[in-house]
Structure 1
């Protein structure tokens, strides 16, 4: 089963592709958006952050960048259904190579820092797109407790919460709002992803990808419960450039 299809199915019931609940997403957007903001999402997937921003503020305009055409098609359909498609532009390309003639008031990259080689590198890319006085909304994992070697192998060499914050500040950014995902949000995300993928497999037993999907769902659930549930955390921050 290719990863693009796997991700689309797994996130069908959790369209924010990170461990954040609806209330947290709303608060983060409230602290980032202005009424006439131009918003960019680097690695937008199916565009849920942008769709919510466009729905919340009728004068906002948004652009999303992603390598998945299927995800962008899904975003375009959802935008039309919500009546915001006239204010949304989607780019089918790698986010790391995206350029624009105009800067953006808000740059989003939540759960996609791996695309740019980590948190600090992602912030450097975001800075290139940001208008003076603009805000970046960035989300990344951290170690809440000492991880197992298996967890590090799966999720990478993350830092603890305080060190993650300090890295951001040292890179020239000032946090103006933040949210640490709760245990409920973290668990809800994992249950939703692997439960939805398993449900699809059980409902489509004749599909060539069914057995693989069921196996992936079972494996990911075991990895979560046994290797990283007790140690993984997720931080989302709204940032401004220090001194600006």
Structure 2
């Protein structure tokens, strides 16, 4: 049980495996200002940057779960680096079936709603771990501009146009699921660039040191097309944000 190697190659230097920056993550933390000792569950936690930095900056405690052994190892190393190993822990496992043993004050899934087969299922999964009055964090892409054809949808790495919503409709969907949207912090085109462009350098450095790897041809083809595809499609059509929800 693990992510394909291509994912960890692309994101080898990333601390955040999504189009957020460290600055935006800090803005979100200050916006909701969790009390020291607040317990968190972060499903599909990636390299644990949310939990580790919020443990350092806000005194939260909690657990991250991710399917990637590489990411979990990086998360544990980050906890050591930031001196928060006594506050956070990380579990290698399938986040789609993980429910906290005891209710948590913040339940998060930032950028991986596939674990619940979409937003409704992910909200339902997070609710199963949430204490009364707690907050859910959902990271989710949306359409900045309506794609005109299936080629544009595919170039944005989305299977079907209806798999994503425009921002107003996404916010309405949260309401239809019985949630109040109480905060949001959105990525912008610059933060998309930082996420995507870092993947190109990671890929090139990997290719330079692994020219005979079985994935080399695939990664070379991807690198040749990725910059123009990002500028033409993802940068223009895809938005992304973290939305803070509370049960009504």
**TM-score, normalised by the number of residues in structure 1:** 0.90
- Which residue of 2 is the match for residue 125 of structure 1? 125
Distance of 1:222 and 1:195 partners within structure 2 = 15
- Which residue of 2 is the match for residue 151 of structure 1? 152
Whether the aligned pair in 2 keeps the contact of 1:31 and 1:238 (CA below 8 Å) is: no
Whether the aligned pair in 2 keeps the contact of 1:202 and 1:214 (CA below 8 Å) is: no
Distance of 1:23 and 1:83 partners within structure 2 = 20
Distance of 2:100 and 2:241 partners within structure 1 = 28
Distance of 2:143 and 2:44 partners within structure 1 = 23
Q: Deviation string for 1:48-100 (max 9, x for gaps)?
A: 11111112133x21101111222212211221222211222222221111122
CA-CA distance at 1:217 after TM superposition: 2.6
CA-CA distance at 1:30 after TM superposition: 2.2
The SS at the match of 2:236 is coil
Against the structure 1 CA distance between its residues 57 and 38, is the aligned structure 2 distance closer, same or farther, given a 3 Å change threshold? same
Distance of 1:83 and 1:240 partners within structure 2 = 30
What does 1:1-244 correspond to in 2, within 5 Å? 4-32=4-32, 33-58=34-59, 60-147=60-147, 148-153=149-154, 154-156=157-159, 157-242=163-248
The SS at the match of 2:128 is helix
CA-CA distance at 1:185 after TM superposition: 1.0
The SS at the match of 1:230 is helix
Q: Deviation string for 1:5-25 (max 9, x for gaps)?
A: 322232233311111122211
CA-CA distance at 1:131 after TM superposition: 0.7
**TM-score, normalised by the number of residues in structure 2:** 0.88
Against the structure 1 CA distance between its residues 83 and 197, is the aligned structure 2 distance closer, same or farther, given a 3 Å change threshold? same
Whether the aligned pair in 2 keeps the contact of 1:28 and 1:238 (CA below 8 Å) is: no
Unaligned runs of 5+ in 2: none
Against the structure 1 CA distance between its residues 84 and 64, is the aligned structure 2 distance closer, same or farther, given a 3 Å change threshold? same
The SS at the match of 2:101 is coil
The SS at the match of 1:240 is strand
Distance of 1:42 and 1:237 partners within structure 2 = 15
Whether the aligned pair in 1 keeps the contact of 2:107 and 2:130 (CA below 8 Å) is: yes
- The number of residues matched between the two structures is 240
CA-CA distance at 1:204 after TM superposition: 3.7
Whether the aligned pair in 2 keeps the contact of 1:42 and 1:95 (CA below 8 Å) is: yes
CA-CA distance at 1:222 after TM superposition: 4.1
Against the structure 1 CA distance between its residues 3 and 103, is the aligned structure 2 distance closer, same or farther, given a 3 Å change threshold? closer
RMSD: 2.0
Whether the aligned pair in 2 keeps the contact of 1:13 and 1:196 (CA below 8 Å) is: yes
Q: Deviation string for 1:35-57 (max 9, x for gaps)?
A: 11101101112211111111213
Unaligned runs of 5+ in 1: none
